[in-house]
Structure 1
Amino acid sequence: MAESENYKKGTEIRRKLMGEKYADAMNKSVYADPMMQKFGDYAREAVFGMLWSRPGLDLKTRALICVISDTAQARWPELAIHLRMARNQGWTEDELSEALLHLGGYIGLPSVREALLTAKEVFEEMRHEK
């Protein structure tokens, strides 16, 4: 794929959100497959390059929106990625846990339980990376 300005911008934003090591690891594992590479290229250009870079909200707020959306839709693998992004943007473990608990009254406890279990794993993984 030719690298458009949105692709370049998206690559930079993605690395900032995920952390360089994690983004590189995903590139070498998930996106090494030709089919998934197409998906990754599209996501970098359209989602990270165009959507995440829009004015009006900072990256920290956008990351929290993704955590909430993933939890509401029971998207556990995506939640793990977005929790990492949220932590990298400055949300604390306590703040994210509280946001997830708050959802219990709106989307139900089973989804919140799974989200908290996912958060527990991600937070532990991130603590060991430091």
Structure 2
Amino acid sequence: MDKGPNHAKGREIRQRLLGDRAVEQMAKTVYDDPIMEKFGDYAAEAVFGMLWGRPGLDLKTRALICVVSDTATHAWPELKIHLRMARNMGWTEEELSEALLHMGGYVGLPAVREALLVARDLFREMRAEA
């Protein structure tokens, strides 16, 4: 895929959101074949470069929107990624847990329970990395 004008911007934003270690790990385990490499390039260009790079909301707010969206749609692998981004953008474990609990009245407790389990495991993982 030809890399468009938003590709470099998107890679920079993604790096800032995830951190060097997570980006390197994903390169080895997710984007390590031609099919997924194409997906990664597309995501860098369209999602991170064009959506995350838009004016109007800061990265911290955008990360929380993704956490809420993932929980509502039961996108558990993506939730783990977006919770990491949210923590890296300054949301605390307590704030994210409270945001997830708040959703119980809107998307249902089973979804919130699963989201909290994902959060618990990711927060442990991130504490161990520190």
Q: Mark yes or no: TM-score above 0.5.
A: yes
> How much does 1:2 deviate?
3.7
- If the length of structure 1 is used for normalisation, what is the TM-score? 0.98
Higher alpha-carbon deviation: 18-27 or 95-104: 18-27
- Partners of 2:14 and 2:70 in 1: how far apart? 18
Partner of 2:50: 50
Counterpart secondary structure, 1:32: coil
> How much does 1:60 deviate?
0.1
**Unaligned runs of at least 5 residues, structure 2:** none
Task: Could you list the structure 1 runs, at least 4 aligned residues long, displaced by more than 6 angstroms after superposition.
Answer: none
1:85 to 2:88 alignment: no
Amino acid at match of 2:15: R
Counterpart secondary structure, 2:97: helix
Partner of 2:15: 15
Partner of 1:110: 110
Amino acid at match of 1:49: G
* Structure 1 residues 57-96: aligned runs within 5 Å: 57-96=57-96
Counterpart secondary structure, 2:7: helix
CA contact (8 A) 2:60 2:91 kept: yes
> How much does 1:28 deviate?
1.6
- Partners of 1:103 and 1:112 in 2: how far apart? 7
> How much does 1:24 deviate?
1.3
CA offset digits 1:36-66 (Å, max 9, x no partner):
1111110000000110000000000000000
